[in-house]
Amino acid sequence: MTFTVLAVCAANVCRSPLMAVGLERSFLARGFGGDVVVRSAGVTATQDAAVCSEVERLTRARGLPWLALGEHRSTPLTDRLIDRADLILTADRRLRSEIVKRARPGATGRTFTLREAAALADATSFRIQGHTVDEQLRSLTAQMNQSRGFTDLPGVERVVTRALPWRRLEVHTHDVPDAHDEPRAPHGLVCRLVVPATERLATSLAHGVMASLP
């Protein structure tokens, strides 16, 4: 069986496609290519919109796998996508709440923001159990959920931006701000928050799985 990850943002043209491509690349680099399926969707998305031009420019400039993003077309979030996902990663806490409000069976326990999940996986990956990668990743998701409220996560950080006159922007450490909704949060900042978080999460998963092997 495969383990399905669903990346979620608002319009599914910026943050969640970038999250999905970053996760796919990071999982593949750590040997999870055939075991993990990554999809993305948006809570306010229309059907078949292309990824935004700024994400295109930045991914090309940073050497990220643009081909996958170039083929991306937006997908509205549905209850079916939520139900089929083993791990749901949202761009921010508001989007996480939107999913929880839908009251889909078991969704609360497997829904995290991307940056929250990366931090929790760091703290809990040593507890993974299971004999297959699918079982091990389900185990990690359960451990991450159980550790919420018991793992000390920082609240707010000040991140550097090039946008005048602010220069520094307060961002909650669970969130990736929406560059289309927050003028002080340029797309470059979105990339600087998303890419390391996807790599950190994939690294924790890989370490946990390797540690649980007999």
75 has pLDDT over 70:
yes
- For the question of whether the overall pTM of this predicted structure is more than 0.85, the answer is yes
CA–CA–CA angle 81, 130, 210 (5° rounding): 100
How many C-beta neighbours within 10 Å does residue 55 have? 25
18-39, pLDDT tens digit by residue? 999 889 888 888 888 788 999 9
Confidence of residue 3 (pLDDT cuts 50, 70, 90): very high
Strands 168-172 and 111-113: unpaired
Taken as a whole, the chain contains a residue count of: 214
Return the residue matching tokens 């796998």. Answer: 65
> Structurally, how many domains does the chain consist of?
1
Check whether 187 has a pLDDT greater than 90.
no
| 90-142 residue pLDDT tens | 999 999 999 999 989 999 999 999 999 999 998 887 777 888 888 888 999 99
Amino acid (one-letter) located at 41: A
Cis peptide before 186 (omega within 30 of 0): no
Please identify which residue in the block is written with the tokens 């079982």: 135
* Cα distance between residue 172 and residue 181, in whole Å: 16
At 169, list the tokens.
Answer: 């922007």
Taking the CB of residue 176, how many other CB atoms lie within 10 A of it?
28
Calculate helix-pair angle for 15-29, 187-212, nearest 10 degrees: 30
Q: Which domain covers residue 197, as residue numbers?
A: 3-212
Query: Which distant-in-sequence residues (6+ apart) come within 8 Å of 213 by Cβ?
Result: none
Amino acid code (one letter) for 207: H
* CATH code, 71: 3.40.50.2300
